[in-house]
Structure 1
Amino acid sequence: MEEYREVPAGLADALVPVVADLVPMLRGRIPRGPAAALGRLGAPDAKPDVFGLVVGPLVMGHGESAALSRLRSLGEPVSERLLGALELTVDALTVPIPYEVEAAVPGPDETPHTFGFGMIGGPCAETVTAVRLLDQLRPGLSTLIVALVEELAGHEALVPLLEPPPELTGEKELAAAHGAAHLALAVAAAAPVLRRAGAPLLAGTSAAVVGVALGAVSALLSESPMPSAYAAALLEKRRADYVLPVSASGSASVRGHRFTLAEHTVLGEPDFSGNGLAVAVPGGIAVRTGLGEGQVPVSTRILERAPDEVELDWWDEVVEFSWRAERGDATLSESDSRRHVRTPPWPGDFRVRVHAIGRDGEERERYELMLWQAPPGPDIVHKRGDRLGYVVRGEPVPDIETPPEAAYRWIRQSMLGEAATVTVVGGASPAGVLRAFGADPAEPESAQELAAAFDLDPWVAVLPVEGGVLAVEFNGFQGSYRPVLEPLSREGRTGSLFWNINAVTRLSFADDGDVLASSELGYSEEIADPEVNQALAGLDFGGYRDRLEKGLLAIERYTGYRLRKEDLERMVEEDVAYRILPHLPELYPEARDADGSRAFPGHGPLGADTDRLAFVPEETLRELAWRAASAVAEHAGVTGDPVIAEVLTERRLSREAKLAARRSQLQAYREHSWLWQALHNATNPDPLAAAIGALSAARYAAGPGGEDLLEHARRVVRQR
Structure 2
Amino acid sequence: MEGQGKAPTGLVDALVPVAEDLIPLLRGRIPRGPAIALGRLGAPEARPDMFGLVAGKHSVMDAAESVVFSRLRSLGDGLSERLLGALELTLDGLTVAIPDEVKAAVPGPDATPESFGFAMVGGQNAETVTAVRLLDQLRPGVSELVMRLVADVAERETLAPLLAVAPESTGEAELAAEHGAAHLALAVAVAVLVLRRVEAPLLAGTSAAVVGVALGAVSALLSEIPMPAGYAAALLEKRRAEYVLPASASCSVEVREHRFTLVEGAALGETDFSGNGLAVAVPGGIAVRTGLGEGQLGVSILILEEPPDEVNLGWWDEVVEISWRAERGDATFGEGSPHGSRTPPWPGDFRVRVHAIGRDGEAGERYELVLWQAPHGPDVVHKRGDRLGYAVRGEPVPDIEPPPEAGYRWIDESALGDAATVTMVRGASPEEVLRAFGADPAEPEVAEELSQDLDLDPWVSVLAVEGGVLAVEFNGFQGSCPPVLKSLSEVGRTASLFWSIDALTALSFADNGKVLASFELGCAGEIEDGEVNEALSGLDFDGYRDRLEKGLVAIERYGGYRLREEDVQRMSEEAVGYRILPHLPELYPEARNPDGSRAFPGNGPLDADTDRLAFVPGETLRDLAWRAASAVAENTGVAADAVVAAALAERRLSPAAELLARRSQLRADREHAWLWEAIRGATNPDPLAAAINALSAARYAAGPAGESLLDHARRVCRE
Normalising by the residue count of structure 2, what TM-score does the alignment of the two structures yield? Answer: 0.96
Q: How does 1:261-276 map to 2 (within 5 A)?
A: 261-276=262-277
1:534 maps to amino acid: E
Offset, 1:50: 6.1
Task: Tell me, yes or no, if the aligned pair for 2:251 and 2:299 is still in contact at 8 Å.
Answer: yes
For the pair 1:191 / 2:185, whether they are aligned, the reply is no
Counting matched residue pairs gives 715
Partners of 2:237 and 2:710 in 1: CA distance? 61
Change (3 A) 1:343 1:50: closer
- Cα displacement string for residues 269-295 of structure 1 (whole angstroms, at most 9, x for unaligned residues): 211111100111111110000000001
Deviation at 1:6, TM superposition (A): 4.8
CA shift in 2, pair 1:343/1:602, >3 Å: farther
* Contact in 1 for aligned 2:120/2:133 (Cα 8 Å): no
Of the structure 1 ranges 11-20 and 540-549, higher mean CA displacement relative to structure 2 is found in 11-20
Query: In 1, Cα distance between the equivalents of 2:454 and 2:410?
Result: 25
What letter corresponds to residue 514 of structure 1 in structure 2? Answer: K
Q: Tell me how far 1:347 sits from its aligned partner.
A: 1.0
Residues 561, 115 of structure 1: CA spacing in aligned structure 2 closer, same or farther, 3 A cutoff? closer
The C-alpha deviation readout for 1:389-428, integer Å capped at 9, x for no partner, is 0000111111212111212122221111111111111111
1:497 corresponds in structure 2 to 497
Name the counterpart of 2:398: 398
Distance 2:604 2:206 in 1: 65
Q: What is the match of residue 235 of structure 1?
A: 236
Letter in 1 for 2:181: A
Residues 332 and 340 in structure 1, CA contact (< 8 A), matched pair in contact too: no
Q: Distance in 2 between matches of 1:477 and 1:357?
A: 30
User: Shift of the alpha carbon at 1:120?
Assistant: 4.3
Q: Secondary structure at the match of 2:223?
A: helix
2:599 matched residue in structure 1 = 599
- Helix, strand or coil for the counterpart of 1:286? strand
Q: Which amino acid aligns with 2:264?
A: E
Q: Could you list the runs of 5+ residues in structure 1 that have no partner in the other structure? A: none
Distance 1:232 1:614, change over 3 A: farther
- 2:407 is matched by which residue type in structure 1? A
CA deviations 1:102-161 (Å, max 9, x no partner) are 3322332x5356343332444311111111111222222212111111111111111111
- CA deviation profile, 1:656-705 (whole Å, cap 9, x unmatched): 11000000111111111121112111211122222222222223322344
Q: 1:516 to 1:689 in 2, by over 3 A?
A: same
Between the aligned partners of 1:48 and 1:309, the Cα distance in structure 2 is: 36
SS at match of 1:549: helix
Q: SS at the partner of 1:223?
A: coil
Partner of 2:318 in structure 1? 317
Instruction: Report which stretch shifted further, 419-428 or 387-396.
Output: 419-428
Aligned-pair Cα RMSD in Å: 1.9
Structure 2 equivalent of residue 163 of structure 1: 164
CA distance in 1 between counterparts of 2:627 and 2:52 reads 54
- Partner of residue 11, structure 2: 11
Answer yes or no: is the 8 Å Cα contact 1:187–1:210 preserved in 2: yes
Partner of 2:626: 626
Aligned to 2:653: 653
Amino acid aligned to 1:151: D
Deviations 1:206-260 (A, max 9, x none): 0111111111101110111111121111111111221111111111100000001
TM (normalized to structure 1)? 0.96
Partner of 1:580: 580
Q: SS at 2:490's partner residue?
A: helix
Contact persistence 1:353–1:369 (CA under 8 A): yes
Q: Secondary structure at the match of 2:441?
A: strand
Distance across 2 between alignment mates of 1:243 and 1:88: 43
How far apart, CA to CA, are the structure 1 residues paired with 2:367 and 2:503? Answer: 20
User: More displaced, 683-692 or 592-601?
Assistant: 592-601
Kindly report which structure 2 residues correspond to 1:77-476, keeping only aligned pairs within 5 A, or say none. Answer: 77-108=78-109, 110-111=110-111, 114-121=114-121, 122-334=123-335, 336-338=336-338, 341-476=341-476
Offset of 1:579 from its aligned partner? 1.2
Q: Separation in 2 of the partners of 1:313 and 1:530?
A: 28
Paired position in structure 1 for 2:538: 538
Cα 1:319–1:5, aligned 2, differ >3 Å: closer, same or farther? closer
8 Å Cα contact 1:643/1:656 also seen in 2: yes
Q: Report the Cα distance in structure 1 between the residues aligned to 2:186 and 2:128, rounded to whole angstroms.
A: 18
Return the letter of the residue paired with 1:94. T
Say whether the 8 Å CA contact 1:459–1:577 is kept in structure 2.
yes
CA distance in 1, matches of 2:663, 2:643: 14
Stretches of structure 2 lacking an aligned partner (at least 5 in a row): none
Kindly state the Cα deviation for residue 619 of structure 1 after the two structures are TM-superposed.
2.8
Does the alignment pair 1:590 with 2:552? no
| Contact 2:112–2:200 under 8 Å retained in 1 | no
Other-structure match for 1:32: 32
1:449-496 C-alpha deviation (Å, 9 max, x unpaired): 212324311111111111111111111111111111112111111111
2:657 corresponds to 1:667? no
Tell me the secondary structure at the aligned position of residue 563 of structure 2: coil
**Structure 2 CA distance, aligned partners of 1:304 and 1:112?**
66
- Structure 1 counterpart of 2:498, one-letter code: F
Relative distance call for 1:380 and 1:608 in structure 2 (3 A) is farther
Q: Which amino acid aligns with 2:484?
A: V
Does the aligned pair in 1 maintain the 2:431–2:441 contact within 8 Å? yes
CA contact (8 A) 2:249 2:338 kept: no
Report if the CA contact (8 A) 2:118-2:134 is conserved: no
Contact 2:303 2:371 in 1 (8 A): yes
Q: Which amino acid in structure 2 is aligned with residue 580 of structure 1?
A: I
2:440 aligns to what SS in structure 1? strand
**Structure 2: distance between partners of 1:7 and 1:569:** 66
Distance 1:596 1:106 in 2: 96
Shift in alpha-carbon separation, 1:245–1:624, aligned structure 2, 3 A: farther
Residues 205 and 709 (structure 1 numbering): CA distance in 2 closer, same or farther, change over 3 Å? same
CA distance in 1, matches of 2:502, 2:4: 63
Quote the Cα distance in structure 2 between the aligned partners of 1:124 and 1:295.
42
Give me the whole-angstrom Cα distance separating, in 2, the residues matched to 1:453 and 1:53. Answer: 40
- On the 8 A contact 2:112/2:138 being kept in 1, the answer is no
CA distance in 2, matches of 1:709, 1:162: 79
Check conservation: 1:497, 1:508, Cα contact below 8 A.
yes
CA distance in 1, matches of 2:638, 2:136: 69
Which piece of structure 1 moves more, 680-689 or 245-254? 680-689
